[in-house]
Amino acid sequence: MTAELERSVVVVTGANGGLGSAITAHLAALGATVVAHCRIGDEPVAGAMSTVVADLGDPAAPEEIIAEAVKSHGRVDGLVNCAGVQPVVPFGQISNAEWQEMLDVNLTAAHRLTQCAAMAMADQGSGSIVHIASIEGTQPAIGHAHYAVSKAALIMHAKASALELGPSGIRVNAVSPGLIDRPGLNVQWPEGVANWVSRAPLGRLGTGEDVAKACAYLLSDAASFVTGTNLIVDGGMSTCSPW
């Protein structure tokens, strides 16, 4: 897998977040040339070969990000749509602006990035795109209605775009993480962490590296016959009965 990724230029959006930074570091360690997208004001991302600063709420940002990657490195072989927002708002209190922001960042930006990356990839006849979705795309949580809807749509987007981009040699897949550990999570949500660890068959939270390894697989030639799928990375939690 290392040798395959050493030949790859991969764009990672939201590269300064917990998952984004883990994905960037892992792909760079495998030899990929990583172009990291960051928000305005973010610090540089460790492991990235180059950085593109852009606000994904800006409709022009996706085209600018892909164009900068091609300009700097001559091609784009992979894209990881990792950027996203996850506010907690009760269903009845979600404003129009909050709903629209969720869709703009979590779904529309990924759609436009996929379109722009696919145009660059079509010229070389190959490419791999990975959406970071969520297990909430199939099982919503309280206060996350707009987030769950955006992730469900992202899973279907992977399938729909895989169907139409396959003839150009471009694969599109989604990765749906479960509960991923982060600094302070056990203090902020001790009951949720305890419940997850007690119920998940593998008995632990996920890590950024768990998600990064899934992305590396889907980006590599090891997954050359895998497209339109949703790879669930949740330690088996989705196998648990709700009753």
Q: Which domain holds residue 35?
A: 2-236
Q: Which residue reads 């129009």 in tokens?
A: 96
> pLDDT tens digits, residue range 142-189?
999 999 999 999 999 999 999 999 999 999 999 999 999 999 999 999
CA distance 14 to 1: 24
pLDDT bin (cut points 50, 70, 90) of residue 59 is very high
Residue 84 lies in a domain: yes
CATH of the domain at 58: 3.40.50.720
217 as an active site residue: the answer is: no
pLDDT at position 28 over 90: yes
Across 17-35, average pLDDT: 95
pLDDT at position 41 over 80: no
Measured in whole angstroms, how far is the alpha carbon of residue 130 from the centre of its chain?
6
Residue 241 lies in a domain: no
CA distance 122 to 125: 5
pLDDT bin (cut points 50, 70, 90) of residue 49 is confident
CA distance 17 to 38: 9
CA distance 112 to 129: 12
pLDDT at residue 160, rounded to an integer? 98
Give the number of other Cβ atoms within 10 Å of residue 243's Cβ. Answer: 2
Residue 243 lies in a domain: no
pLDDT at residue 1, rounded to an integer? 46
- Please choose, from the candidates 167, 55, 185, the residue with its C-alpha nearest in 3D space to the C-alpha of residue 194: 185
User: Beta partners for 51?
Assistant: 36
Given 116, 147, 157, 172, the catalytic residue? 147
At 13, list the tokens. 């959006």
Residue 132 lies in a domain: yes
> pLDDT tens digits, residue range 63-77?
999 999 999 999 999
pLDDT at position 98 over 80: yes
> pLDDT tens digits, residue range 102-122?
999 999 999 999 999 999 999
Residue 161 lies in a domain: yes
Report the domain count for the chain: 1
